[in-house]
Structure 1
Amino acid sequence: MQRICLFPGSFDPITKGHVDIINRSIALFDKLVIGVGVNSGKQPMFQPEQRVEWIREIFKDDARIEVAAYEGLTVNFCKKINARFILRGVRYVSDFEYEKAIADMNRMLEPGLETVFLTSSPEFSTVSSTLVRDVIRNGGNVNMFIPEEVKW
């Protein structure tokens, strides 16, 4: 059976921290699907199509990586793509507590679905999409935090 993993997130925008987690995780799975979550309750800075396009460009040379936007429960999207694993990056202990609660809920909703946590590399532990958006909104330079393919 193929080991398919979903890496869900908003990726608004994708950061070098995300890319690091993806690059370090791909050896663990046969296929990694990067799921750009669309939450109708949130107003993103960048449209889902733009985020998907950036991620496809970044990973265009790796056939093991696919990208798709999705709405609704992550466990339902996992079923749709036959993923048995969810990948989550963890920067701090507070991230782990939040992510574990989600992982437990997902496992209750879909027994057999496992969440794999990777800790961020030290140089990316302070980088988040939220902080990057704040810097962008205030006219700062975010080039050190985002992949060169991310342009708007």
Structure 2
Amino acid sequence: MSRNLHQIRNKILIILIGIILLGCDSNTVVINQFHLPNNNWTYLNKIYTVFEPKEDQRYNLYLSVRITAEYKYSNLFILFKIKDKTGKEVIRRYTYKMADSEGQWMGSGSGNIYAYKLPLLTNRSFPSEKILLSIEQNMKDNPLKGVTDVGIIIEKED
């Protein structure tokens, strides 16, 4: 390989590594993303994540969801559950706006898929023990069509 090609290849490699490093978020603790078969979210497709927080740390929890144009609603209703080691469970119902008043999707999109990162809990601390987090769809349709992926993102609060 000539010296110029070698230098060009090294520069491209350095640029790619830099892009990858800039795209990483060091505050992210957990990303559990689950693909839903046939882009249908049923009541039985509950998303589970086990999380063991640190006592002296605060966290932000997000719902990650990707939809297609087949999704026919402007909102999304979900149930979010937190269960501790004693079995105590806290259930919260969330409503998220997915489209504006003119029907335009509010998520970031590419082609036919729109991605959302929606807040569940922000700036929260938890006891230093394993907790079980779960998310389930709470819409009237079963299955809920047009949902490709659902997940939970947990980030450390700065």
Same fold (TM over 0.5): no
The two structures have a TM-score, normalised by structure 1, of 0.24
Higher strand share: 2
Higher helix share: 1
The two structures have a TM-score, normalised by structure 2, of 0.24
Structure with higher Rg: it is 2
